[in-house]
Structure 1
Amino acid sequence: MEVTADVVVVGFGAAGACAAIEAAAGGASVVVLDRFAGGGATALSGGVVYAGGGTRQQVEAGVTDSADAMFAYLKHEVRDAVSEATLRRFCEDSAKSLAWLEDQGVPFSSALCPFKTSYPTDDYYLYQSGSEDAVFDDSGPDPVPRGHRTKAKGTSGKAFFTRLAEATRRAGVRIMTQTRAVELVLEDGRVAGVRCRTLTGLPRALHSALSRAGAKPWIYYPPVGRKLFGLAALLERRFGRPLTVTARRGVVISAGGFIADRAAIRELGPAYRGGLALGTPGDDGGGIRLGVEAGGKTARMDKISVWRFITPPSALQRGVLVDSEGRRFGDTTRYGAAIGNEIIERGGKAWLLVGDDVLRVARAQVKTQTSPFQRWQVRYFLNRGMVTAPTIEEVAAKAGIGTPEPFGTPPYSLINVSVRAGFGYPCPMLTLGGLVVDEETGEVRGVPGLYAAGRSAVGVCSESYVSGLSLADCVFSGRRAGLHVVKEARC
């Protein structure tokens, strides 16, 4: 079985959808392949896009921002993951990029969140999603909200992807789901297509049902998720039919990262074991391996982002982080990824010390500052996840750590914020490294005709992470790959 198109996109999440839409808009015929039904980690995400420089939502909310201010902050986070020229372009294009998403049907809102949080409730959709408060003193740019959450109830990633998928179909792109890419086709040193295995009929329907049923259990209760996806993989091996999809001018890999590759995580980031893998079994590094087998190189594969959120409730920012020796560290106003990385550096163990004055306010904020999916976690760590005692010596003894300096008013509480703090308080994580690409075009270096985007490639968020930066980079790098592969299609 054989299919031919100008452009073939491997992976149908945010980056793949954006690449496909741009390529189709440029006049290319496009085929998108996805091992499952599409969506990937994008659909499981919070649907937050980090954007600034004067977006429509910022202006409506009365927020003053500029591309220069956004760049000044992000260069502290991005560091040398990409060149300053690329980061500058990312910032200068940011507001237009968000407007482009709106043109595709993705809804955003200017409802501004008045408190610091890791993810706002359904009342708010614009919030401060990074570590801006901690980076600058009074001489730097004023911290501003740049987290643009897709307007939808609950976690908004599914709505974000649904609208992009609809736009992809409107663009005339052919989407082939339940189709697994297994090898790139090379002709005269250039990528010319993809060899796949695809499912049809009843096996296809069963595979689709198993992957849908297994998505959330795979994250929150891995033993069940692994069994369901194991059955799906069995269907692929037993009933998958060979398929070659020929690409006249180029292939875009946008198949996610490798957080589902447990062996790779053990090798590259053993300290991260015990975190909650944010992704799907499709994030097994398969797309990255395709690029490597074709001659591509990888970088920053040891960059794994683990998130330990202190907020909500916002009052907990007034606490202090301590390690197993009782020594203070870190800054509770920073985004959860920065806090998580600092905890990893201390052996994965940490506690948040709060006094009774802070704890009372925090408990009063639970009802108004948390979404339903956050509430059970907050109630866990404000009850079973902490110990309380009248003196600092007693509370440290209960927690089994060194005695910290007193802070706040007694009685004192120590909240366990370790990576392995318990089932009720998981620590999400994802991988940030991938294929090395030309930053002007998105083409994989050394492999003509092959492009990469999103978490399959080194990008803006490959050094450190703040909320919304991965989706923003998926849009940025996906569109870049789609635009430049079209130029090849016109040759």
Structure 2
Amino acid sequence: MTNTENVLLETTQVQSALTVRSAADVEWAEEADLVVVGFGGAGVSAALQGAESGGHVIAIDRFDGGGATAYCGGVFYASDTSIQREAGVTDSADEMEKYLAAESAPVQADTLKRFCQGSSADFDWVNRYVPFSGALYTGKAQYPPEGKFLYYSGNEKVPKYAEVAKPAPRGHRALGAGYTGNVFFEGLRKAAMEAGVKLITHAPVRRLVMDTEGQILGVEVHRIRPDAIDEHQKLYSEVNPQMPFKGLQYQVAIEKCQKFEAENSEPAFIRAHRGVVLSTGGFVYNLELLRQHRPEMASAYGEILRLGSPGCDGSGMALGATAGGYVDLMKNMFIGKTTSPPESLLHGLLINAEGKRFISEDAYVSVVGGAVAEQPNNGTAYLVLDAKSFWSAFWNALTIGRSMFLFFGLPTLLNILKGGTRRSGSLQGLAKKLGLPGKTLQDTVQRYNEFIITGKSDPFGKQPANIAPIGKGPYYALNMSIRNKFSLTPVFTLGGLRVNEETGGVLRRDGSTVSGLYAAGRTAVGLCSAGYMSGMSLADLVFSGRRAAMHALGQQ
């Protein structure tokens, strides 16, 4: 095993696979055709598809189900959908494929084509259980405002991408108020239960069972004792990825939960006749693994916002590794920095500790965040605004609407008031307060304004609709640095187990497949493992979850 795989085993309580001569050597507590480990978005998709394919399915979750999906925005990326047509949008799978190819999806070309060509059908499948709306938003925002549910969720309108593929709004937000990941998950969960899926909760899976030929036979689950379940759920509830400023507290709760599970569980074996699907999420709550692959994020764990549930500790990857699977792209992460809403913030300039601009301010949130993380002085960055744009953003944040205020208005105001915002009547004075080279900042602003005055396109590709000259002072600088806890930096991991892209089967390093073992969602390398945009994770986890179930049960 590699050092990464050793760290996975050391930090997740996963044990080496139990190898037996045959299934008859094990006393199985329960049996199923398909066993799904992890009941978040990918897990519920695999379980529901398995049941619809005629299989007897047992789904197992370390906690109560939902995982990171229940906390997410509930956005599904797809083309040529009934919702788009309802909104008067013309789109095609071919245009979606061209766009995603330009975004460098880390999968084979035929996999990307299959995903895009099937995205409409995948969406229709989800839409049978989850409500959506064609209320269209055409502006630029990380997340659409209340009452809007179809929007441009990536970089589709950025000039360099628009030249390659016709832009179209492909982000389909589940119908509801605020973030609607809970609506998305609950719709699929209810359908899975009605389809006959058996769900076992509060039951960490600690090892795989395999025969001497390498065939996966089932899993060993450590079920929390009935009298300890309430306390286990309480520990889970102490970690809320949508609640900032509690990174240190969450780490203590996670470590306490691991100890509690070791002391309050009983082992049992569950047989999987056709296959096991690993879908336990990523590893953003595995601090040691973060230290190994992204030390700058690990050192900032008290300030960043780790998106995921406490189950996102890499345990599914560890299970796969014990059977010979291997992990890849572990350094790749979503690192977010929100510059809109309020949209007035897009009129500013993002500069680094040298006073230089380094990214288009209206790029997708993870593109901005990734660029900020790479800047000197541990990801130091500021958003420079003139008085007009600053006060417009301030008042827009106050009046953004009740449900959106919590996710966008309040964080913007907190950063303005608590995050170290600086003000000066001149750019030179502002640079002095920030400890930046005064002339460099002045030159940066002057060059930007000259591009606008002369009608030239922005060298960083900022969309014309979001371009405005930096006007009269006083000038303001919002602290957008990684280590500023008031400038929220949401983070989650994108790497995982390598899988056969035709089947979802877990791969060994020699290219062979572990028989009977599959991985899906953020436990596996998928379509968004090289870079993420809103909607791609849910679309990928449905795609990969359904793929695994269908192949395990012989449907493809």
Do the two structures share a fold, i.e. TM-score over 0.5? yes
Query: In the alignment, which residue of structure 2 is the partner of 1:28?
Result: 55
Residue by residue, what CA displacement relative to the aligned partner does 1:182-235 show, whole Å, maximum 9, x if unpaired? 111011211110011002321123212332343358865134334444444333
Alignment of 1:41-56 (within 5 A): 41-52=68-79, 54-56=80-82
Query: In the alignment, which residue of structure 2 is the partner of 1:441?
Result: 503
Alignment of 1:15-414 (within 5 A): 15-52=42-79, 54-79=80-105, 81-103=106-128, 105-136=129-160, 139-187=163-211, 188-216=213-241, 220-273=245-298, 274=300, 275-347=304-376, 348-369=379-400, 371-373=404-406, 374-385=408-419, 386-403=421-438, 404=441, 405-406=444-445, 407-414=470-477
TM-score by length of 2: 0.84
Q: Report the CA distance between 1:372 and its aligned residue.
A: 2.1
Contact 1:218 1:225 in 2 (8 A): no
Q: Secondary structure at the match of 2:136?
A: coil
Q: Secondary structure at the match of 1:9?
A: strand
Q: Secondary structure at the match of 1:36?
A: coil
Partner amino acid, structure 1, of 2:346: Q
Which of these two proteins has the greater Rg computed from alpha carbons?
2
- In the aligned structure 1, how far is the partner of 2:31 from the partner of 2:334? 38
Query: In the alignment, which residue of structure 2 is the partner of 1:465?
Result: 532
- In the aligned structure 2, how far is the partner of 1:265 from the partner of 1:21? 32
Residue by residue, what CA displacement relative to the aligned partner does 1:239-259 show, whole Å, maximum 9, x if unpaired? 201111111121000000100
Change beyond 3 A, Cα 1:317–1:204: same
Change beyond 3 A, Cα 1:249–1:476: same
Change beyond 3 A, Cα 1:402–1:236: same
Q: Secondary structure at the match of 2:103?
A: helix
- In the aligned structure 2, how far is the partner of 1:470 from the partner of 1:441? 18
Partner amino acid, structure 1, of 2:76: V
Q: Secondary structure at the match of 2:99?
A: helix
Large movers: runs of 4+ above 6 Å: none
The structure 1 residue matched to 2:491, chosen from 408, 429, 434, is: 429
Contact 2:239 2:309 in 1 (8 A): no
Q: Report the CA distance between 1:71 and its aligned residue.
A: 1.1
Q: Report the CA distance between 1:135 and its aligned residue.
A: 4.9
Change beyond 3 A, Cα 1:220–1:3: farther
Query: In the alignment, which residue of structure 2 is the partner of 1:479?
Result: 546
- In the aligned structure 2, how far is the partner of 1:2 from the partner of 1:294? 22
Q: Report the CA distance between 1:138 and its aligned residue.
A: 6.2
Q: Secondary structure at the match of 1:425?
A: coil
Change beyond 3 A, Cα 1:380–1:213: closer
Which segment is superposed worse, 425-434 or 227-236?
227-236
- In the aligned structure 2, how far is the partner of 1:159 from the partner of 1:402? 49
Structure 2: any 5+ residue segments left out of the alignment? Answer: 1-27, 446-469, 508-512
Change beyond 3 A, Cα 1:117–1:369: farther
Q: Report the CA distance between 1:402 and its aligned residue.
A: 2.7
Q: Report the CA distance between 1:442 and its aligned residue.
A: 0.3
Change beyond 3 A, Cα 1:462–1:2: same
- In the aligned structure 2, how far is the partner of 1:332 from the partner of 1:217? 24
Q: Secondary structure at the match of 1:372?
A: helix
Contact 1:132 1:334 in 2 (8 A): no
- In the aligned structure 2, how far is the partner of 1:137 from the partner of 1:18? 31
Partner amino acid, structure 2, of 1:358: S
TM-score by length of 1: 0.94
- In the aligned structure 1, how far is the partner of 2:534 from the partner of 2:405? 19
Change beyond 3 A, Cα 1:201–1:154: same
Change beyond 3 A, Cα 1:36–1:325: same
Identity of aligned residues (%): 38
**How many pairs align?**
485
Query: In the alignment, which residue of structure 1 is the partner of 2:456?
Result: none
Structure 1: any 5+ residue segments left out of the alignment? Answer: none
- In the aligned structure 1, how far is the partner of 2:239 from the partner of 2:371? 32
Q: Report the CA distance between 1:44 and its aligned residue.
A: 1.1
Q: Report the CA distance between 1:141 and its aligned residue.
A: 3.1
